Amino acid sequence: MTPALEITGLRKAYGKKTAVDGLSLRVAAGEIFGILGPNGAGKTTTVECAEGLRRPDGGSVRVFGIDPYLDRPAARRIVGAQLQESQLPDKITVAEAVGLYASFYPDPADTEALLGRLGLTEERNTRYKRLSGGQKQRVSIALALVGRPRLVVFDELTTGLDPAARRESWRLVRDLRGDGATVLLVTHYADEAERLCDRVALIQAGRLAVCGRPDELIGHISGNDTSGNTATLDDAIVAFTTGEAA
Amino acid sequence: MTAIAAEPASPRRARRNAPRSAFRSLTVTEAKLLAREVAPLLWGVGFPMVMLYVVGTNSPGPDKSLGGISLATAYVPILIAFSCTTFALQGLSTVLANYRERGILRRMNATPVGAVRLLGAQLTVNLSVASIATLGVLFTGAAACGVPLPGQPAGFILAFLLTDAAMIGIGLLVASVARNGRMAGAIGTMIFLPLMFFAGLWLPQAAMPAALRTAGQDTPLGAAVAALQHSMAGQWPSAASLGVLAGYAVVFWLLAWRLFRWE
């Protein structure tokens, strides 16, 4: 079966600064796959290459077998992106924005049902400027989903959300997988990845540090754990990042 | 629960021509967003019509110091240039710089439609609103101030299109070099004043000292007003003024093309 995402030897530099340095990973269709790593590790650059927003300097990227840079229109029809720090015009209403984005795709979702599912029905005629941070985040999720993508990329989906909104987002991610989508989740939060992801990749300095099921990664380090507490993915990430697990 | 993610598209809807309808929705949306901005519309459409009405109903008619035309006749092309410049410099450039700053262009580039079509929709709306303002000025002049409609309509349309192309080119260039919407607005205002000076907003060209008037013919709006003026009077605009306008349009568009950044 064609993998949802296959990255082989990806390299990308901005001027002299290397962002991604020979990264390879493979995400199977239907997986919830987490990408973890410190700031500046190359997580966002990696997913931007998968979204066709950046041209790789080397290596290859395939989304369901499609090169997302060379065949942008085809790839963008099947990839839904929620980007970091992307906003909308102040005076556009929620329903207008979602309706507009629906017109970009050949077989869009029912926009009213989508708004309902994201709890935005009450805000459908509210202008973007007047939305709360959490509501803006839900609008950006709606825009990512309105084209009924096969691969959904969430870049820092829950950053800045309150605990209840985070849990709501997690439920949504699980529902998406139930609908048959593959989810790529870029996150800072190991607890989020541990709860949601089938597998996680830890990226450090543009390279893959480790990749596997959360319980596998935890298993690697539990031998080193001397505190007596149950190890979490967070402990494992810290251990791999500092090299203690090697 | 409604399934949001789906494998294949249903054949009936997949046949729909998505890009074309997407461009139409983008243009409609950008037009709505502009219509919600009261200030640019008042300034770019309302102000020229009101100013022409005030000038036209309070001026005595043909004036020797203006080369034998009325003050209202002298101001029609100046106010048309004013509208084109307002929408290109205060509208287009700030909107685009703002869209880039806020990641709206980048977000569009992650859809099958792409930010190029958003830019196209912006240009369509900008040209349309400048055309509406121009028609408003022409009809106000004809109805209230005794200024005849353009005697050489084809020449007038050509002069108008070149004027707007040159102004939109400047707007795109400002959007290319400005880091954000506020900076684009500030640069736009700085360029707006000298451009409009040579258009004759404060002193019509016919009343300018000869040396100033001659120098003004090589500026974008000096050439624009001369070309519009000639076609209003029933002549074909001079090759020199059309050439100056076309030259500026090409240079600004090429520079903007080279310098524009999507993010």
User: Does B1 reside within a domain?
Assistant: no
Of B2, B25, B99, the CB nearest to A100: B25
User: Does B4 reside within a domain?
Assistant: no
pLDDT band at A188 (very low <50, low <70, confident <90, very high): confident
pLDDT of residue B6: 46
Q: pLDDT digit string (tens) for A39-63? A: 888 999 999 999 989 999 999 999 9
| Contact residues for B8 (Cβ-Cβ < 8 A; gap 6+) | none
Asked if ipTM goes beyond 0.85, one says yes
Residue carrying the six token digits 């005629």: A125
Query: Where is pLDDT greater, at A134 or A95?
Result: A95
Parallel, antiparallel, or unpaired: how do β-strands A199-204 and A182-186 relate?
A: unpaired
pLDDT of residue B122: 96
Closest residue in B to A128 (Cα) is B33
B 35-74 near A (Cβ less than 8 A) = 36-37
Mapping DSSP onto H, E and C, the string for chain A reads: CCCCEEEEEEEEEECCEEEEEEEEEEECCCCEEEEECCCCCCHHHHHHHHCCCCCCCEEEEEECCECCCCCHHHHHHHEEEECCCCCCCCCCEHHHHHHHHHCCCCCCCCHHHHHHHCCCHHHCCCEHHHCCHHHHHHHHHHHHHCCCCCEEEEECCCCCCCHHHHHHHHHHHHHHHHCCCEEEEECCCHHHHHHHCCEEEEEECCEEEEEECHHHHHHHHHCCCCCCCCCCHHHHHHHHHHCCCC
User: Does B247 reside within a domain?
Assistant: yes
User: Does B202 reside within a domain?
Assistant: yes
pLDDT band at B224 (very low <50, low <70, confident <90, very high): very high
| Residue of A54, A84, A104, A141 best to disrupt the B interface, most CBs of B under 10 A | A104
Span A127-136, mean pLDDT? 93
pLDDT band at B73 (very low <50, low <70, confident <90, very high): very high
pLDDT of residue B68: 81
Closest residue in A to B103 (Cα) is A86
User: Does B8 reside within a domain?
Assistant: no
pLDDT band at B64 (very low <50, low <70, confident <90, very high): confident
**pLDDT > 80? residue B2:** no
**Token pair listed for B55:** 């000038």
Task: Count other C-beta atoms under 10 Å from residue A55's C-beta.
Answer: 12
The DSSP secondary-structure symbol of B111 reads S
User: Does B46 reside within a domain?
Assistant: yes
pLDDT of residue B4: 54
pLDDT band at A224 (very low <50, low <70, confident <90, very high): low
Q: Does A202 touch chain B (CB under 8 A)?
A: no
Q: pLDDT digit string (tens) for B24-53? A: 999 999 999 999 998 889 999 999 999 999
| Contact residues for A243 (Cβ-Cβ < 8 A; gap 6+) | none
B 82-101 near A (Cβ less than 8 A) = 99
- Residue B194: give the domain boundaries: 14-259
**pLDDT > 80? residue B102:** yes
Q: Does B104 touch chain A (CB under 8 A)?
A: yes
* Spatial CA neighbour of B107 closest among A85, A176, A19, A160: A85
Q: Average per-residue pLDDT in chain A?
A: 90
Q: pLDDT digit string (tens) for A189-201? A: 888 899 999 999 9
pLDDT band at B13 (very low <50, low <70, confident <90, very high): very low
| Helix, strand, coil tally for chain B in percent (to 5) | 75, 0, 25
pTM of model > 0.90: no
User: Does B3 reside within a domain?
Assistant: no
Q: How many helices, marked H, and strands, marked E, lie in chain B?
A: 13, 0
The alpha carbon of residue B30 is apart from the nearest alpha carbon of chain A, in Å, by 9
**pLDDT > 70? residue B7:** no
The alpha carbon of residue B142 is apart from the nearest alpha carbon of chain A, in Å, by 36
B 107-136 near A (Cβ less than 8 A) = 107, 109-114
Number of domains in chain B: 1
**pLDDT > 70? residue B134:** yes
CB contact under 8 A, B5 and A79: no
pLDDT of residue B10: 44
pLDDT of residue B1: 42
Q: Which chain A residues contact residue B110 at CB under 8 A? A: 51-53, 76, 79, 81, 83
Task: Count other C-beta atoms under 10 Å from residue A122's C-beta.
Answer: 11
User: Does B196 reside within a domain?
Assistant: yes
